[in-house]
Structure 1
Amino acid sequence: MKTAQVKKTFVLGVLFVLPLVAYLFFASGVNNFGRLPIMTEVVEELPENKAGVFLASKISIVGYLGSDLSQRQVNMFNLNQKIYKRFSEFTDFQMLMVLPDGTQEQLAEVMRELAAIGEVGAWRFVFLTPEQIQAQFESLQVPERLDVSLGTDQVYIIDKALQLRGRKATGKDAALYGYNATEVSLLTNTMIDDVKILLAEYRMALKKNNQYKDL
């Protein structure tokens, strides 16, 4: 009889403690892993442009394609297949490419080829002067530099508050400021997760704000 009582007490204890432990575990996970680190506090907004496209109030994947788009056509294909297709339906998400003015015809040809294999209607493009591109890129404060064509294989995640997001250095991994669009495995295994984290972060913040409004 006494043994049965001990077993009953043990089972009840487990049923009470396990949910509490699980809650604490996941709560800790949200605090420690639920935010994508800020790498640069203030990124320069895009200058006035004919497309009327800006960074503020959007989660932006920003790339710099340069003046020779043949060098980055594969990059655009990779981004379209791995990132754009997955997130383009989110209203606060944009795929935004910065190019030197004068590359419009090259871009039109590349987009015709890209459209032949999938939907591309929500890509955004901004054409700027070399000086404007250089100044805006330098505001990212990243280790990479633009090449002579004013392009780079790296693409960057910029949040609604004009902050560059990425990954801080860990014991064996270097800090990640941008994502090399030529590396499909990096886009698939890392960038997708990071965009998901940022979208979830904003979703949680919105839910929390709505809860406060109801009080």
Structure 2
Amino acid sequence: MKNKLVLILLLALPIVIYMIFASATHNQLFLPTISKNNADLPAWKSLKDEKVSLKNKITVLGFIGSDIKANQGNIFNLNQKIYDKYVGFKDFQVVLVAQDGSQKQVGELMDKLAAFTENMTGYKIVFASPKEIQTFYDGFHLKGKLSADLSTSEVLILDKDINHRGRKGKNKAGKEEYRESYNTTSAADLHNEMTDDVKILLREYRLALKRNKNKENFRLHEKK
């Protein structure tokens, strides 16, 4: 009985602490799921000739199409407000989908970002044909649409199981809200809503790690 009580306390403590210190502006302990088990990236070519996967990573997914220069301001906003804050987490990445043939423009963009950002390892850029990009985008069943150059200023948050995460349900004010993506043209949108939601998702995994560690510690010290 005593051992069970200790286990309950160990499992409950991180949740209680989280509830006390959580700074979310909406009424969620965990970030809601918009859609589950989405498809991983196909074996597309990448800027650094590496295999890029969405699995087992917390991913910010964006579509920058073929006109990279027209969209570079959005990436600079994302870099400053989101990437620079979370690149220190080893399981965090930003994946950008570009149209095949835009490799030179993308390389130039990455060089510009590197002048402001020391750690560029979290950026993964992949290239595909227009049809492939559209098919992959459509797989998320979003309300938003890609523009004529197969880009969008909106980015998505995906968890380690490639579940699409966002806002769904009532906020602290009691109003229904739905957010499937975040607008990179809006510094306020990134700084407030998206920063908050990425923070919640990272805390969610941190909480799970603590819970699993507490379980393991209990097993090691449990009397046979």
TM-score range, shorter chain: 0.7 to 0.9
The letter of the residue matching 1:156 is: L
Matched ranges for 1:7-22 at <5 A:
none
The amino acid across from 1:178 in the alignment is S
The answer to whether the aligner puts 1:161 opposite 2:161 as a matched pair is yes
Equivalent residues of 1:40, 1:163 under 8 A apart: yes
Separation of aligned partners in 2, 1:157 and 1:182: 16
Post-superposition offset of 1:173: 5.5
Which residue among 33, 41, 45 is the counterpart of 1:46? Answer: 41
Q: How many residues align?
A: 191
Is residue 62–residue 152 contact of structure 2 (8 Å, CA) maintained in 1?
A: yes
The alpha-carbon deviation at position 178 of structure 1 amounts to 0.2
User: Partners in 2 of 1:134 and 1:194 — Cα distance?
Assistant: 26
Q: Secondary structure of 1:157's match?
A: strand
Rate the CA distance shift 1:115–1:24 in 2: closer, same or farther, 3 A.
Answer: closer
State whether residues 114 and 120 of structure 1, in contact with CA within 8 Å, keep that contact through their aligned partners in structure 2.
Answer: no
The DSSP-based 3-state class of the residue aligned with 1:205 is helix
Is residue 113 of structure 1 aligned with residue 116 of structure 2? no
Structure 2: how far apart are the matches of 1:24 and 1:48?
42
1:176 corresponds to: 179
Counterpart position of 1:195 = 198
1:134 partnered with 2:137: no
User: Deviation at 1:172?
Assistant: 4.3
Partner residue of 1:185 out of 188, 202, 205: 188
Task: Return the offset for 1:102.
Answer: 0.7
Between stretches 169-178 and 203-212, larger displacement belongs to: 169-178
2:212 aligned partner, one-letter code: N
The separation in 1 between residues aligned to 2:73 and 2:18, in whole angstroms, is 41
| C-alpha displacement of 1:138 | 1.1
| TM-score normalised by length of structure 2 | 0.79
Once the two structures are superposed, residues 110-152 of structure 1 have per-residue CA deviations (whole angstroms, 9 ceiling, x without a partner) of 2222222232522110111222211211121210011111110
Query: Residue 29 of structure 2 aligns with which residue?
Result: 34
Q: TM-score, normalised by structure 1?
A: 0.82
Equivalent residue number for residue 17 of structure 1: none
Secondary structure of 2:189's counterpart equals: helix
Alignment gaps of 5+ in structure 1: 1-22
Q: Is the CA contact 1:58–1:160 (under 8 Å) kept in the aligned structure 2?
A: yes
1:192 to 1:101, Cα distance in 2 relative to 1, 3 A: same
Larger Rg: 1
Identity of aligned residues (%): 40
Which residue identity lines up with residue 70 of structure 2 in the other structure? Q
Alpha-carbon distance, 1:213 to partner: 2.1
- SS of the residue 2:60 aligns to: strand
Could you tell me whether the CA contact under 8 Å between 1:42 and 1:139 is conserved in 2? no
Letter in 1 for 2:166: G
